[in-house]
Every structure is written in structure tokens, then in C-alpha cells.
A and B are shown apart, each in its own frame.
Chain A
């Protein structure tokens, strides 16, 4: 039961350009969404989050957009940097402690 889906397993972007990572979900009861970033041999690290009552949250180069009617969220990174190369996981929380992850998207930022 894949309630959080990241349909693009990989994305390649030129340094300085925008990276857009997408995530779809099926459960309208999710009330909080997060993006995690994972480097090889490390655990996921929290990047940015958004409550279901908002449609945008921005933190420096990172912006998360939420479209509840489409059950879609996206992470924009601009400008992209080589150090952003990692696997990005979308996650959604139900009932304050049940967090579901997508399968991840591997972002490669080319110099």
C-alpha cells in the first residue's frame, strides 16, 4: 500500500538551475509533509516541512509547495549546487506519529 509516491527515481540538473522534485500521495488524511535528504552511508536528514493548512513553505534555497486538491507536493531547489546531490525522500504524517515515505528520487547536480 504505497500511499506516498515519488515516480521519478532520478533527476539530473545543471548547477545553478532549478531542481524540482515531485511527490504524490493518496491519503487525504495526511496532515503534515516533510522532505528528507540522504547521502550514501548516512541516515536521512530533515530538510523542510509543510503543514496541510499551508500551500508553500520556504527556507533559503528550498521551497516546498503543497497542492491538496491534486494531492501533490513538490520541492524546489534554486539555485542547485553540486552538494545538493543526494537521494530525496518525501514523507507524510498521519495522526502525529505515523510517517510514510516515498521511494526517493536521486538528484544529481552537475557542475
Chain B
């Protein structure tokens, strides 16, 4: 399977803890996106990389959130000092320029 891979699939953490998610995009895709989806809503854009450069960040991405794509391949999304409002599905997607996004199956975060 050469689709977008996300790890872990589920994460339960206590409020105040830090969590890190990983995304492995489709190998030839130079663009990588992070989205967040809450119940009853569509995916909301968080941030976007072209190769290793983070080109855009949503105002939804508070200073507790940081994303990296150090070698232009996999990416990590870290949330520091998690809050209950961070509970959501975190989706990663990748694409080539001017092509539709291919999404992974997401990481479901539950903050207790």
C-alpha cells in the first residue's frame, strides 16, 4: 500500500501532556498538508509544506502546535500541553502540484 500513512491511529492522553503524530506521504508527492476534523465538521486546514518548507499556517495553529518536515519526506505534528479542545481527528494529506489531495486515515486524539 503506497498511500498516505499516519501513526498512531488513536491516541488518548491526559490534559497537559505533549503528543506527536507522524505522517508518511506518498513518496513522489512534494506537498504535505495537515488538517483537523471535529465531529460534524469538514476538515479544517492547519498547515502546508512544499518539500521541507512550511509555506502556510492557519490561525487555528496556536503556538502549542508545531509541524516539521525535516527532509521533505515524512512530517510530524506536535501538540504541547494538550487541552480537551484539541480532541479531534488529525488528517494528513499529500499531493503533487495542481493535483487532488490524497488523505491518510487520520490520527484520532482524545484528551481526557
Residues of A bordering B, CB below 8 Å: 4, 6, 9, 34, 36, 41-46, 49, 89, 91, 96-104
Supply 19 A–B pairs (Cβ within 8 Å), ascending by A.
A4-B42, A9-B40, A36-B103, A42-B105, A43-B4, A43-B93, A43-B103, A43-B105, A45-B103, A89-B43, A96-B98, A97-B31, A97-B48, A98-B45, A99-B33, A101-B42, A102-B42, A103-B40, A104-B42
| Residues B35-81 near A (CB distance < 8 A) | 35, 40-45, 48, 55-56
B15 touches A (CB below 8 Å): no
CB atoms of B103 and A97 under 8 A apart: no
Write out, one digit per residue, whether chain B residues 86-108 have a CB within 8 A of any chain A CB (1) or not (0): 00000101000110111111100
- Bound: A91/B43 CA distance, A: 9
Interchain pairs with CB closer than 8 A, number: 49
Specify which chain A residues have a CB less than 8 angstroms from the CB of B106 in the assembled complex.
43
Given contacts A43-B4, A45-B103, contact A96 B97 (CB under 8 A): yes
CB distance from B62 to the nearest CB of A (A): 17
Q: Count B-side interface residues using an 8 Å CB cutoff.
A: 24
Chain B residues, Cβ within 8 Å of A101: 35, 42-44
Are A44 and B103 in touch, CB under 8 angstroms? yes
A48 to B55, CA, bound (A): 26
Chain A residue, CB-CB nearest to B55: A97
Across the interface, A46 reaches (CB within 8 A) one of B40, B44, B98, B100, namely B100
Instruction: Specify which chain B residues have a CB less than 8 angstroms from the CB of A43 in the assembled complex.
Output: 4, 91, 93, 103-106
